[in-house]
C-alpha cells in the first residue's frame, strides 16, 4: 500500500506538468503558427516543383503547335523528325534571309540552320527570341526533337560505335509529381514536426532556467528527472500527432500512404531521440544562443551524417510511404526505436548525475 | 554591465553611445558561447562537411530503391535496371512495379506508382545511353549532332523591316543584344576535333548547370541544352539568404534577453535613448551580415551590385526579427516567430527571382538583381530602387513599430502578440496626419502579402485559388486601412462619435488611395515594361468621354473611402464590431473587384 500511496500523487504531478507545458503552447498559439509554417513550407516546395516540372516539361501543362523555320544545306535531315513532334511544325526555307524575315514578323518562333560538317556531324544553330516563357517552352520541345535526330544519326553511325544506345521506352500518362511527393514532400512533412518539437524542448527548458521558474518546480512533489520526463512527453508527443494529421491530409489529397503505422512509429521514436537530445543540450548550455547553436548544428550534422547509413532516414520514410520497403527498411525502424529508447535512458542517467543546484 | 555604468556616457555624443552599446553587445554575446561549444559545433560541421563532400558524388540517395522492377536477364535493359539505384530488382514472377521481358518489352503495373516507375525508367535509359556514348572513342560518331543556341531580341513588330538586326551579319559572332545567353556559334567554323572536345565538356557539366552564361557558349549536344532558366545563378543567389537565418536567431535571442527578468531596465535608465540602444544592439549583427554577404559575394564572384541588393534583404530580416522579439512572450514563441520570418522572407525573395528571365515583375525581389548580376547583366538605377525601396521602407516601418514598444511599460509586460502589435501601432497614431500616413506606410506589406498569396495558391485548382486570392487581396487592404484606426480607438485617441469615425475612415481611405496611386505612377515612370499589359487598355479608354475617365479614376477612391469608413465605424465600437466591420468591408471590396473584372472582360 505504501508503494501506491507515494506513486499516485507523483503521476498526478507529472501529468500536471505535462498539462502546464501543453497549456503554454496553446496559450501562445505557437502550435497554430507551427502548423502554418509547415503548410507554407510544403506549399512553397510544391510551388517550386510544379513550377520547375512545368518549366522543364511544358507539355505537361498545355498544348498548341509552334511553327519553326528550318534552313541550311542539310535541312532535309531533320525536317521529318521534327514534324513528328505534334507540338512543332517545321517549315523548310531555302533562303536564310526569308527565314529571318519570317522570324522577325513572328510567323515562326525559331530558325534552325542545319549544316553537315566534314566529319559527318550535323551542326544545328537555333535562333530563338529571348521572350521568356514561350522560349522556354519552345526549347524544351525542340530538345525532344533534337534528341530524336541525334538517335537517328547515331543509328547511321552503327559501324563506328563500340556499343549501341538502347531505345528509350515510350511513356505516357505518368504523374510527374510522384517522385517528388514521396521522396521530398512526405519526408519533409514528417521531419519538420520532429525538429520543431526538439526546438520547443530546448526553448522551454532554457527559458525556465533563465526565468528561474525551474526552482519553483523543485518544491513540487517530484524529482528533477520527473520534471524533465514530463517536458519530454509533452513535446515529443506533439510530433506524431502532427505526422498523423499530415498523413491524413495527404491521403485525402489522393496520395496513397502504404504503411502509415510504421511511419508514425518512426516519427515517434525520432522525436523521442531528438527531444531527448534537445533537453540534454538545454541542460548543458545555459544560454539560448549557445543551446540553439548546438541544437541546429547537431540537426544539420545528423541529416548529413545519416547519408552513411544504408538508407537515409528520408529514404526510409519514402519507402514505407510508397510501399517499396525491404528488410533493411524494417531493420532500420527497429534500430531507430532502439536509438530513441537509448537516448531517453542516456538523458535519464545524465539527469540523475546532474547537480540541480547549479541550474 | 561594468562597461556601461562606470565610465558615464554623457560626455560622448549619440554615435559614441551607439558604438559603446555595440561593443558591449559583441563582448557579451561572445561570452555566451564557450570554447567547448565552439569545438563541438566545429567538429559537427566538419564531420557534416566531410561526409557531405564524399556523398556529393553519388547523391543523398533519396530515391534509392523507390521502385521495384522484375527484369529478365536476357533483356537489353538488364544492365540499366540493375545499375540504376532508383530501382530494386526482384526475381521475375514476383510482383513488381515494372516488368521487363526478354524481348525488351517494358510493362508497368496498372497503378500510379507503376506509371511513375515507367517514366523514371525511361529517364534511366536515357542516362545510360548518355554514359555509354561518353565512353565511346569516336566522339563524332557518338555525338553526331551539335546544337548552338542563339537568343535574340526581336524588334517590336512596327520596326521590322529596318533590317538592322545585328544577327544578320553573322561573320564576326552573333551578338544578341542585352542577353545572357548570347553565343558565338557562327564564329568558329570548327574543325571536327574541336567540336568534339566542346561536346565532351558540355556533357560533363551537370544538367542543372545550364541556362547560365558560362556553359552555353559553345555547341552542345541535344541532351545537354537547357531551356533558359537561371537555376545556377538562382541557387547562388539563395546562398546569400541562408546565413541570415542563423544571424536572426542570435539577434532575436539578444533582444528577447533584454525583456526577460527586466534586464533591459538597466539600459533604459542609462542616458542612452531607446533609439541609440536599439541601434547599438543591431549594429554588430548588421555589420556581421554585411561581412558575410561580402565574403559570399567574393566566393561566388558576385559584384558590388549583389552586395547592394542583399543588404536591404538583411535589413528586413533584422527588422522583422526585432519586432518579433519585442512582441514574443517566450523563447518558444520567439522561435516560431523567427522561423515564420525566415520562411516568409525566403519565399518572398526567392519565388519572384525564379522568373528573372521571364518577366520584369521579378524585380520586386532584390534576389533578381543578384541573379542578373551573376549573369553579367547590367541593372539600371531605377530598377535597383524599384526592387529595394520596399525593403528599405519595410525595415524602417518595422523598426519604427518595434521601437514603439521599446519602453518600460510595454517591454516587460506579457501580452498576446496581437495586442502588442496594436499597442505599438497606437504609439504612432497621433492626429489626422498620422491617420492619413499610416495606410501609405503599410502598402509595401500589402503588396508583399498579396504576392505571396498568389505564389502559394498557384498550385491549387483555379476554382479554389481565385476566390482565395480575391478575398485575401481585399482583406489585406481593408486591414491596412483600418488597423491603425482601431489601435487609435483602443487607446482612446479619438472620440467615438459616428461623425468622427466616418471622418477618420475617410481620411484613412484617402491615404491608402493616394499611396496606391503613387506606387502606380512610380511603376509607370520607372519601369514601363511592367505595365505593358495594363497599357493595352489605354487606347480604348482614350476614346471615351472625360466623364467616364474621371469615373474610372475616382471609382477606387470612392471604394477605399467607403470601406475604410465601414472599418472605422466598427473600430469605434470595440473589438468584436471591428471584426464584423472588417468582414463586411472585405466583402464589399471583393465584390467591387469582381465587378470591375467582369466589366473589363
- B chain contacts of residue A119, beta-carbon cutoff 8 Å: 140, 192, 195-196
* Chain A contact for B468 (CB, 8 A cutoff): no
The yes-or-no verdict on residue B9 having pLDDT over 80 is: no
Predicted confidence at residue A171, as pLDDT, reads 73
- For residue B537, CA distances in Å to B92, B530, B531, B543 come to 65, 14, 10, 11
Bridge partners (DSSP) of residue A67 are A89
Tell me the nearest-neighbour CA distance from A352 into chain B, angstroms: 22
Domain parsing of chain A, residue ranges? 2-53+178-358, 58-160
| Terminal Cα-to-Cα distance of chain A (whole angstroms) | 35
Alpha-carbon distance of B247 to B288, in angstroms, equals: 8
Predicted confidence at residue A175, as pLDDT, reads 66
> In this structure, which topology does domain A58-160 adopt according to CATH?
D-Maltodextrin-Binding Protein; domain 2 (3.40.190)
* Span A312-319, average pLDDT: 92
Nearest 5°: CA angle at B24, between B23 and B27? 85
The mean pLDDT value of chain A amounts to: 81
Predicted confidence at residue B383, as pLDDT, reads 82
Per-residue pLDDT tens over the stretch B399-418: 998 998 888 888 888 788 78
* Span A146-162, average pLDDT: 81
- A chain contacts of residue B228, beta-carbon cutoff 8 Å: 130, 132, 135-136, 139
Tell me the nearest-neighbour CA distance from A2 into chain B, angstroms: 40
Contact of B67 with B117, CB cutoff 8 Å: yes
Best residue in A130, A213, A315, A321 for a mutation probing chain B (most B CBs within 10 Å): A130
* Span B34-43, average pLDDT: 82
Alpha-carbon distance of B74 to B101, in angstroms, equals: 8
Alpha-carbon distance of B248 to B254, in angstroms, equals: 10
Q: For residues B363 and B502, which has the higher predicted lDDT (pLDDT)?
A: B502
Chain B residue with Cα closest to A301: B48
* Span B212-223, average pLDDT: 54
Q: In this structure, what are the phi and psi dihedrals at residue B106, rounded to the nearest 5 degrees?
A: -110, 125
Predicted confidence at residue A117, as pLDDT, reads 82
Tell me the nearest-neighbour CA distance from A44 into chain B, angstroms: 6
- For residue B359, CA distances in Å to A131, A263, B63, B313 come to 9, 42, 34, 21
The yes-or-no verdict on residue B443 having pLDDT over 70 is: yes
Alpha-carbon distance of A100 to A103, in angstroms, equals: 5
B357 contact partners, CB below 8 Å, separation of at least 6: A130, A132, B180, B228, B229, B230
Least confident of A112-116, B407-411, B548-552: B548-552
Alpha-carbon distance of B468 to B413, in angstroms, equals: 36
Alpha-carbon distance of B387 to B312, in angstroms, equals: 10
DSSP per residue, A287-319: SHHHHHHHHHHHHHHHHHHGGGSSS-HHHHHHH
Contact of A311 with A232, CB cutoff 8 Å: no
Alpha-carbon distance of B368 to B230, in angstroms, equals: 10
Contact A206 B331 (CB under 8 A): yes
Alpha-carbon distance of B311 to B293, in angstroms, equals: 8
Predicted confidence at residue B193, as pLDDT, reads 35
Q: For residues B7 and B448, which has the higher predicted lDDT (pLDDT)?
A: B448
Chain A residue with Cα closest to B164: A104
The yes-or-no verdict on residue B167 having pLDDT over 60 is: no
Tell me the nearest-neighbour CA distance from A199 into chain B, angstroms: 8
Tell me the nearest-neighbour CA distance from B48 into chain A, angstroms: 5
Contact A173 B115 (CB under 8 A): yes
The yes-or-no verdict on residue B345 having pLDDT over 80 is: yes
- B chain contacts of residue A162, beta-carbon cutoff 8 Å: 136-137
ipTM > 0.90, yes or no = no
Nearest to B525 by CA among B380, B369, B404: B380
Least confident of A95-99, B71-75, B200-204: B200-204
Candidates A139, A171, A175; nearest CB to B228: A139
The yes-or-no verdict on residue B28 having pLDDT over 70 is: yes
Contact of A143 with A149, CB cutoff 8 Å: no
Per-residue pLDDT tens over the stretch A325-334: 899 999 999 9
* Chain A contact for B58 (CB, 8 A cutoff): no
Contact of B291 with B29, CB cutoff 8 Å: no
Sign of CA dihedral B316, B317, B320, B325: negative
Collapse the DSSP code of B537 into the 3-class scheme (helix H, G, I; strand E, B; otherwise coil) and give the result: coil
The yes-or-no verdict on residue A276 having pLDDT over 90 is: yes
User: Would you place residue B141 in the very low, low, confident or very high pLDDT band (cuts 50, 70, 90)?
Assistant: confident
DSSP per residue, A321-348: HHT---HHHHHHHHHHHHHHHHHHHHHH
Contact of A193 with B133, CB cutoff 8 Å: no
User: Would you place residue B137 in the very low, low, confident or very high pLDDT band (cuts 50, 70, 90)?
Assistant: confident
With helix as H, strand as E and coil as C, how does B478-535 read?
HHHHHHHHHHHHHCCCCCCCHHHHHHHHHHHHHHHHHHHHHHHHHHHHHCCCCCHHHH
Contact A47 B459 (CB under 8 A): yes
Per-residue pLDDT tens over the stretch A201-227: 998 888 888 888 877 776 777 778 888
Predicted confidence at residue A1, as pLDDT, reads 42
Predicted confidence at residue B6, as pLDDT, reads 41
* Chain A contact for B250 (CB, 8 A cutoff): yes
* Chain A contact for B188 (CB, 8 A cutoff): no
Tell me the nearest-neighbour CA distance from B570 into chain A, angstroms: 26
Per-residue pLDDT tens over the stretch A23-43: 877 776 666 667 777 776 666
* Span A57-81, average pLDDT: 71
Candidates A105, A166, A312; nearest CB to B76: A166
- DSSP assigned state of A16: H
Predicted confidence at residue B313, as pLDDT, reads 93
B559 contact partners, CB below 8 Å, separation of at least 6: B588, B589, B592
Predicted confidence at residue B92, as pLDDT, reads 82
Contact A127 B219 (CB under 8 A): no
* Chain A contact for B464 (CB, 8 A cutoff): no
* Span B301-315, average pLDDT: 90
Q: How many CB atoms lie within 10 A of CB B76?
A: 15
Least confident of B95-99, B134-138, B515-519, B535-539: B535-539
Candidates B44, B186, B458; nearest CB to A298: B44
Predicted confidence at residue A131, as pLDDT, reads 58
Helix axes A327-353, A313-322, angle to 10 degrees: 130
The yes-or-no verdict on residue A345 having pLDDT over 90 is: yes
* Span B201-225, average pLDDT: 46
Q: For residues A269 and A200, which has the higher predicted lDDT (pLDDT)?
A: A269
Candidates B141, B354, B456; nearest CB to A161: B141
* Chain A contact for B128 (CB, 8 A cutoff): yes
Adjacency order of strands within the sheet including B87-90: B87-90, B67-71, B98-100, B106-108
Contact A289 B32 (CB under 8 A): yes
The yes-or-no verdict on residue B183 having pLDDT over 60 is: no
Alpha-carbon distance of B264 to B274, in angstroms, equals: 11
* Chain A contact for B185 (CB, 8 A cutoff): yes
| Terminal Cα-to-Cα distance of chain B (whole angstroms) | 67
Per-residue pLDDT tens over the stretch A282-315: 988 878 888 888 898 888 888 888 888 888 899 9
DSSP per residue, B416-431: -HHHHHHHHHHTT--H
User: Would you place residue A130 in the very low, low, confident or very high pLDDT band (cuts 50, 70, 90)?
Assistant: low
Candidates A136, A167, A290; nearest CB to B229: A136
The yes-or-no verdict on residue A58 having pLDDT over 50 is: no
Candidates B33, B191, B254; nearest CB to A290: B33
B211 contact partners, CB below 8 Å, separation of at least 6: B181, B226, B227, B228, B229, B230, B231, B232
Most confident range, picked from A72-81, B227-236, B332-341, B489-498? B489-498
Chain B residue with Cα closest to A163: B132
Contact B136 A146 (CB under 8 A): no
Alpha-carbon distance of B182 to B192, in angstroms, equals: 23
- A chain contacts of residue B331, beta-carbon cutoff 8 Å: 203-204, 206-207, 288
* Span A264-284, average pLDDT: 94
- A chain contacts of residue B330, beta-carbon cutoff 8 Å: 24, 28, 203, 207
Amino acid at each position: 500500500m505504501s508503494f501506491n500511496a507515494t506513486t499516485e500523487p507523483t503521476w498526478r504531478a507529472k501529468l500536471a506538468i505535462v498539462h502546464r507545458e501543453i497549456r503554454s503552447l496553446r496559450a501562445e498559439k505557437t502550435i497554430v503558427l507551427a502548423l502554418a509554417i509547415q503548410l507554407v513550407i510544403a506549399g512553397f516546395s510544391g510551388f517550386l516543383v510544379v513550377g520547375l516540372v512545368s518549366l522543364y516539361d511544358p507539355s505537361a501543362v498545355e498544348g498548341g503547335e509552334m511553327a519553326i523555320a528550318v534552313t541550311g544545306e542539310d535541312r532535309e535531315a531533320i525536317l521529318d523528325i521534327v514534324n513528328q513532334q505534334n507540338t512543332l511544325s517545321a517549315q523548310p526555307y531555302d533562303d536564310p534571309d526569308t527565314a529571318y524575315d519570317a522570324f522577325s514578323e513572328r510567323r515562326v518562333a525559331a530558325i534552325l540552320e542545319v549544316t553537315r560538317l566534314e566529319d559527318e556531324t550535323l551542326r544545328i544553330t537555333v535562333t530563338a527570341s529571348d521572350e521568356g516563357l514561350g522560349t522556354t517552352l519552345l526549347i524544351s520541345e525542340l530538345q525532344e526533337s533534337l534528341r530524336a535526330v541525334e538517335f537517328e544519326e547515331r543509328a547511321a553511325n552503327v559501324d563506328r560505335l563500340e556499343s549501341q544506345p538502347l531505345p528509350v521506352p515510350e511513356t505516357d500518362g505518368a504523374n510527374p509529381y510522384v517522385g517528388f511527393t514521396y521522396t521530398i514532400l512526405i519526408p519533409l512533412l514528417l521531419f519538420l514536426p520532429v525538429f520543431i518539437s526538439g526546438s520547443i524542448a530546448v526553448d522551454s527548458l532554457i527559458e525556465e532556467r533563465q526565468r528561474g521558474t525551474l526552482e519553483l518546480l523543485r518544491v513540487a512533489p517530484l524529482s528533477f528527472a520527473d520534471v524533465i520526463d514530463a517536458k519530454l512527453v509533452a513535446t515529443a508527443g506533439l510530433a506524431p500527432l502532427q505526422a498523423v494529421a499530415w498523413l491524413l491530409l495527404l491521403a485525402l489529397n489522393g496520395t496513397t500512404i502504404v504503411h502509415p503505422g510504421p511511419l508514425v512509429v518512426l516519427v515517434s521514436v525520432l522525436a523521442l531521440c531528438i527531444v531527448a537530445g534537445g533537453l540534454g543540450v538545454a541542460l548543458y548550455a545555459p544560454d539560448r544562443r549557445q543551446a540553439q547553436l548546438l541544437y541546429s548544428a547537431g540537426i544539420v550534422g545528423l541529416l548529413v551524417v545519416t547519408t552513411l547509413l544504408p538508407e537515409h532516414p528520408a529514404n526510409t520514410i519514402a519507402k514505407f510511404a510508397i510501399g517499396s520497403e525491404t528488410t533493411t527498411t524494417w531493420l532500420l525502424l527497429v534500430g531507430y526505436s532502439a536509438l530513441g529508447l537509448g537516448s531517453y535512458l542516456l538523458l535519464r542517467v545524465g539527469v540523475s548525475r546532474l547537480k540541480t543546484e547549479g541550474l | 554591465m561594468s562597461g556601461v555604468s562606470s565610465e558615464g556616457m554623457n560626455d560622448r555624443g549619440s554615435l559614441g553611445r551607439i558604438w559603446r552599446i555595440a561593443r558591449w553587445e559583441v563582448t557579451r554575446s561572445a561570452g555566451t558561447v564557450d570554447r567547448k561549444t565552439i569545438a563541438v559545433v566545429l567538429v559537427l560541421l566538419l564531420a557534416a562537411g566531410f561526409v557531405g563532400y564524399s556523398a556529393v558524388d553519388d547523391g543523398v540517395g533519396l530515391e534509392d530503391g523507390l521502385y521495384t522492377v522484375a527484369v529478365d536477364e536476357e533483356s537489353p535493359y538488364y544492365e540499366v535496371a540493375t545499375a540504376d539505384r532508383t530501382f530494386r530488382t526482384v526475381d521475375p514472377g514476383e510482383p513488381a512495379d515494372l516488368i521487363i521481358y526478354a524481348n525488351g518489352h517494358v510493362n508497368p503495373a496498372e497503378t500510379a506508382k507503376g506509371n511513375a516507375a515507367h517514366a523514371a525508367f525511361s529517364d534511366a535509359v536515357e542516362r545510360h545511353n548518355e554514359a555509354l556514348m561518353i565512353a565511346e572513342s569516336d566522339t563524332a560518331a557518338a555525338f553526331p549532332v551539335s546544337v548552338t543556341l542563339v537568343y535574340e531580341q526581336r524588334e517590336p513588330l512596327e520596326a521590322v523591316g529596318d533590317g538592322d538586326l545585328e544577327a544578320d551579319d553573322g561573320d564576326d559572332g552573333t551578338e544578341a543584344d542585352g542577353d545572357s545567353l548570347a553565343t558565338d556559334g557562327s564564329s568558329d567554323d570548327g574543325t571536327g576535333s574541336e567540336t568534339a572536345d566542346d561536346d565532351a565538356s558540355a556533357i560533363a557539366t551537370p544538367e542543372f548547370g545550364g541556362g547560365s552564361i558560362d556553359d552555353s557558349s559553345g555547341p552542345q549536344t541535344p541532351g545537354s541544352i537547357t531551356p533558359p532558366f537561371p537555376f545556377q545563378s538562382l541557387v547562388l543567389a539563395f546562398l546569400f539568404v541562408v546565413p541570415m537565418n542563423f544571424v536572426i536567431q542570435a539577434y532575436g535571442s539578444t533582444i528577447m534577453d533584454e525583456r526577460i527578468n527586466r534586464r533591459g531596465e538597466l539600459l533604459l535608465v542609462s542616458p542612452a535613448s531607446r533609439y541609440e540602444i536599439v541601434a547599438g544592439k543591431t549594429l554588430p549583427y548588421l555589420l556581421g551580415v554585411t561581412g558575410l554577404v561580402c565574403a559570399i559575394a567574393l566566393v561566388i564572384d558576385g559584384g558590388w551590385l549583389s552586395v547592394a541588393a542583399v543588404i536591404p534583404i538583411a535589413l528586413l530580416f533584422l527588422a522583422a526579427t526585432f519586432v518579433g522579439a519585442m512582441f514574443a512572450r517566450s523563447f518558444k514563441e520567439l522561435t516560431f516567430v523567427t522561423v515564420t520570418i525566415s520562411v516568409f522572407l525566403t519565399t518572398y525573395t526567392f519565388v519572384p527571382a525564379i522568373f528573372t528571365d521571364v518577366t520584369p515583375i521579378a524585380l520586386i525581389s532584390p534576389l533578381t538583381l543578384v541573379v542578373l548580376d551573376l549573369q553579367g547583366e547590367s541593372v539600371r538605377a531605377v530598377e535597383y530602387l524599384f526592387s529595394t525601396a520596399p525593403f528599405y521602407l519595410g525595415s524602417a516601418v518595422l523598426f519604427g513599430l518595434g521601437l514603439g514598444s521599446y519602453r518600460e511599460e510595454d517591454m516587460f509586460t506579457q501580452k498576446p502578440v496581437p495586442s502588442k502589435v496594436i499597442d505599438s501601432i497606437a504609439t504612432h497614431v497621433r492626429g489626422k496626419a498620422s491617420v492619413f500616413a499610416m495606410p501609405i506606410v503599410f502598402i509595401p506589406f500589402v503588396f508583399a502579402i498579396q504576392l505571396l498569396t498568389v505564389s502559394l495558391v498557384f498550385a491549387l485548382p483555379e476554382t479554389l485559388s481565385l476566390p482565395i486570392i480575391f478575398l485575401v487581396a481585399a482583406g489585406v487592404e481593408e486591414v491596412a486601412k483600418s488597423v491603425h484606426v482601431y489601435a487609435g480607438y483602443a487607446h482612446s485617441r479619438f472620440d467615438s462619435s459616428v461623425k468622427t469615425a466616418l471622418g477618420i475612415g475617410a481620411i484613412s481611405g484617402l491615404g491608402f488611395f493616394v499611396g496606391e496611386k503613387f506606387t502606380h505612377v512610380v511603376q509607370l515612370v520607372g519601369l514601363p515594361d511592367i505595365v505593358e499589359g495594363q497599357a493595352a487598355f489605354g487606347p480604348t479608354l482614350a476614346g471615351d468621354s472625360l466623364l467616364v475617365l474621371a469615373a474610372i479614376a475616382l471609382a477606387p477612391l470612392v471604394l477605399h473611402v467607403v470601406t475604410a469608413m465601414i472599418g472605422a465605424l466598427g473600430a469605434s465600437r470595440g473589438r468584436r464590431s471591428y471584426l464584423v466591420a472588417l468582414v463586411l468591408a472585405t466583402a464589399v471590396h471583393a465584390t467591387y473587384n469582381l465587378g470591375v473584372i467582369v466589366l473589363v472582360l
